[in-house]
Structure 1
Amino acid sequence: MRKKILITGAGGFIGSFIVEEALARNYDTWAGIRNSTNREYLQDNRIHFIDLQYSNKSNLKKQLLEKKNTFGKWDYIIWNLGATKCRHPEDFDKINYGLVKIFTETLIETDTVPEQFIMMSSLGAWGAGNEESYAPICPTDMPKPETLYGKSKLKAELHLQSLPGFPYVILRPTGVYGPREKDYFLMIKSIKWGIDFSVGYKPQALTFIYVKDLVKIMFLAIDKGVKQKSYFISDGAVYTSSDFRKYVAKALKKHFILPLRLPLWVLKIVSYSVAFCASLIGKTSTLNPDKYRIMKQRNWICDISALQKELGFTADYPLEKGVEECISWYKTAGWL
């Protein structure tokens, strides 16, 4: 019998790639999205769509029981739902922690707990690494998230860990890039125009993970059957902002890029100002106080030894290869 899998947040950048891989593996694939969600990258007619009422526990319970009675429960759930920017600060907790709490409690109450519940968290839940020694962030370090996003993700992690016997797998990726992604795309577009902006004068150690490698890790976790485990995720290498610029310029065949380095105080003023102006018209902005706190941090190195030893992970896409494929997609799609 085919295994059934639910991917929440399936309409987003990462979610659409998870759905594609689940279909490639012949899973009975369910995409958890709102009825109003754009389905541009969810065109396969094998996909089952479901609009789960995460914030209404009574309605959600009815949906899960109906699904269980009609189709059986999901064998695997990949929780990829979350908010990286919000108009109101309290919404980070409401979405990134509150919905996880409601959903997992309802799974337990309806006896629909899957074999594995894989939650997309973030390296930001642990906060920045030591900016003097540049030692990798380790699972044994005390988490000290500096962003509202990171704090809300950590609360969700602690909730999962508090549920007796719950089969969670927590993934904490560093910066995720790839086709369809929009934030790194802005940096790539700037480099295409011949300008590369960076901030701060102290060296910054960056890490990345290509979206297809991140999805590969999710299904390695399923294949290995791990439970009650947490993993930091990167491609295993350490980069600088000039490395990113170099690889993008090479893929774009740009021979001259003007690097502009801004002081952190300038970035702070711009981030807070743009976010304030966006809030006045009911919008969110890519530049905001949380984004500033992320960009000012100097050490994003993380220890992925557990990922390598327990799941056997090796990256198929080091940064140069990933950037090349990503830019090729942007060009084909008409983004560049």
Structure 2
Amino acid sequence: MNILVTGATGFIGSFIVEEAIKRGMNVWAAVRPTSSRKYISDPRINTIELDLGDKQRLKGQLGGHTFDYVVHAAGATKCLHKADFYRVNTNGTRHLADALVELRMPLRRFVFLSSLSVMGPVREQRPYADISVNDEPRPDTAYGMSKLKAERYLDSLDGLPVVTLRPTGVYGPREHDYFMMAQSIKKHTDFAAGLKPQDLTFVYVADVVQAVFLALERGRNGAKYFLSDGCVYASRTFSDLIIGQLGHPWVVRLKAPLWLLRAITFCGEYAGRLTGRPTALNNDKYRIMRQRNWRCDIAPTRAELGYEPQYRLERGVAETIRWYKDNGWI
């Protein structure tokens, strides 16, 4: 089977490529000329340069190829301007889908990696309840809205067998945002956002990959599936596990009220625009940290895909920190 993976040089995409190789698939990794290929260096991997910003050029790049499966994992999580989220996440998805349809690609499945962020702050009244696939999405971030618009465009197309995955916070080896937390803790500082209780969910990258291949095999066309490890955690559980894996260093815990967090992210966004470099401390990040309820219902994912998370947070954090140490990140 021929499989095309976009975002193949990124965090999640590179693990999808590795799993496809293990399964004996003929893998095509979509890359950009400037992409680092550190994690897709296996000689069995075919690479293809794709310009998701130009549909006509994209059709030329895809022409002559036949793919059975496409996993669209490419996307932007941090941008300097809101318009960039829509350019990459919404329009890039639209161009890829249109090109595949117009080329009459004989796809068995198109799996789209979306995000729980498309739902936004729903079910925020305590006691918190699981966000359901039947809830009306209300994204309050540019990232979440750009992913939701991409989902809705895919839903509008005839002839494209789309299955959408909506993972919660994805962590694991090679990931940079949660790494910043580990790096901060190693320097003896732990930062928490907001004073009200927060219910958090996580999913280890290997379980996301598991869900991708289950979706390729068993996914129902048009369906949307939430992904988590099936548990709900308090706001400090992740950092407590990191502290344990780092040998229990002394740590100063800083708990910032939302008004202070808003000021910090406002300055971070402004600094990013001055330097021309996107930063993790931005307006979207503030809205994400402000949201109190990140619970999600994965019962349909289990029932329809046969998905069963293999990594609870304790195991996943242990493997992640071990990888950071082994690879000289911390």
Normalising TM by the smaller chain, what interval? over 0.9
Question: What SS class does the counterpart of residue 64 from structure 2 fall into?
Answer: helix
Contact 1:128 1:137 in 2 (8 A): no
Q: For residue 257 of structure 1, report the CA deviation from its aligned partner.
A: 2.8
Q: 1:118 aligns with which of 100, 111, 124?
A: 111
RMSD over equivalenced CA pairs, Å: 1.1
Q: In the alignment, what sits opposite 1:33? A: 31
Partner Cα distance (1:307, 1:101) in 2: 25
Please list, as runs of the form range in 1=range in 2, the aligned pairs for 1:215-234 lying within 5 A after superposition. 215-234=209-228
Q: 1:48 aligns with which of 46, 49, 52?
A: 46
TM-score by length of 2: 0.97
Question: What SS class does the counterpart of residue 29 from structure 2 fall into?
Answer: strand
Q: For residue 251 of structure 1, report the CA deviation from its aligned partner.
A: 1.1
Amino acid at match of 2:89: N
Q: For residue 256 of structure 1, report the CA deviation from its aligned partner.
A: 3.5
Contact 1:64 1:112 in 2 (8 A): no
Q: In the alignment, what sits opposite 2:63? A: 65
Please list, as runs of the form range in 1=range in 2, the aligned pairs for 1:192-211 lying within 5 A after superposition. 192-211=186-205
Q: In the alignment, what sits opposite 2:285? A: 291
Q: In the alignment, what sits opposite 1:7? A: 5
Q: For residue 128 of structure 1, report the CA deviation from its aligned partner.
A: 2.2
Q: For residue 278 of structure 1, report the CA deviation from its aligned partner.
A: 1.5
Partner Cα distance (1:221, 1:150) in 2: 22
Contact 1:129 1:300 in 2 (8 A): no
Q: Does 1:104 align with 2:102?
A: no
TM-score by length of 1: 0.95
Amino acid at match of 2:27: T
Q: In the alignment, what sits opposite 1:70? A: none
Q: In the alignment, what sits opposite 2:179? A: 185
Q: 2:238 aligns with which of 237, 244, 248?
A: 244
Moved over 4 A (4+): none
Specify every segment of 5 or more residues in structure 2 that has no aligned partner in the other structure, as ranges: none
Q: Deviations over 1:252-304 (max 9, x none)?
A: 11153322101111111111111111211211111100011001110000011
Amino acid at match of 1:281: T
Partner Cα distance (1:194, 1:180) in 2: 22
Amino acid at match of 1:199: A
Q: In the alignment, what sits opposite 2:129? A: 135
Question: What SS class does the counterpart of residue 15 from structure 1 fall into?
Answer: helix
Q: Deviations over 1:178-233 (max 9, x none)?
A: 00100000111112222210011100000000001100110111222532211011
Q: Does 1:74 align with 2:67?
A: yes
* Greater CA drift, 217-226 or 320-329: 217-226
Q: 2:163 aligns with which of 165, 169, 172?
A: 169
